[in-house]
Amino acid sequence: MRYIIVALFLFSISASLYAQQQDSTKNGSLKEKLQVADSIASAQDTVKKEETRKERKERERAEKERDKYYYKGIKKDSARLEIEHVSRVAWKRSLMLPGWGQYTNKGLWWVKVPIIYGGLVTGYLVFDYWQWYYKKFLDELAYRVETNGQGDAGDPDLQFYQTQGLVTQKDYGRRNRDLTILITVGFWGLNAIEAYVDSMLKNRWNIGPDMTMKIGPTLMPSYGMAGNRVLGGYGVTPGIKLTMNIN
């Protein structure tokens, strides 16, 4: 009986170990299958994302190409497309070389181009002045720092300036120099905007050669005390009338 009990005990232990081994093998196999499935799903997602990105780029390219020929769902005619092309050429040329777009638009380009380059040259001269002003006070400050404030001033023109005054004037010159740069860059951009607007107005709206303009005197109604004091109290005041006739 004792041997039977011992045999049953050993059999139960062996069965338990075998079951654990089977479970471990089964779990390992299941884990490997899950990993393989995850890698396959990840690869599929990557391919899908790449395809989606490619499709999105193609769609955006197609929409951009379509927008060139449509405006709010209405197809543009060849004249409208040519006008837009000419206007784009004008402002891009002016952005690359000031005055080039104005020359492309013709018209009064011989008046506009000197004004544009006059403004740019003026901007450069003003910048050069404020750069000199800024360096003048900066060099004097550097000299006083090196000499520890001993001895005469490095620049005789600035000998009556205290250190704080030098710092204030240096900052003033630098601020005006930087402001001059910003204004000059804005003037450059304004030249491109003018070329675009002039091209659009010239090509989209035809004023024609029959436009007439007349300037002459007129009488305008006036109310209150002022009307009673002008022209004997008739309630009118003299003025100038501008008449434009556009055909």
CA dist 65 to 76, 79, 101, 140, 221, Å? 13, 18, 25, 60, 57
Which amino acid is it at 90? Answer: A
List CB contacts of 161: < 8 A, sequence separation 6 or more: 137, 140, 153, 169
Give 10-residue mean pLDDT values along the chain (247 residues): 59 57 51 60 54 78 69 65 84 94 91 94 96 94 82 77 90 96 96 92 66 70 57 64 67
- Would you state the pLDDT for residue 26? 47
- Cβ(86)–Cβ(204) below 8 Å: no
- Would you state the pLDDT for residue 191? 95
How many alpha carbons fall within 13 Å on the CB side of residue 59? 6
- The domain spans of the chain are 1-76, 77-206, 214-245
List CB contacts of 112: < 8 A, sequence separation 6 or more: 99, 102, 194
Q: Where are the beta strands (DSSP E) in the chain?
A: 70-71, 74-75, 212-221, 236-245
CA dist 114 to 118, 120, 202, Å? 6, 10, 21
- Please name every residue paired with 71 in a beta bridge, in sequence order, or none if there are none: 74
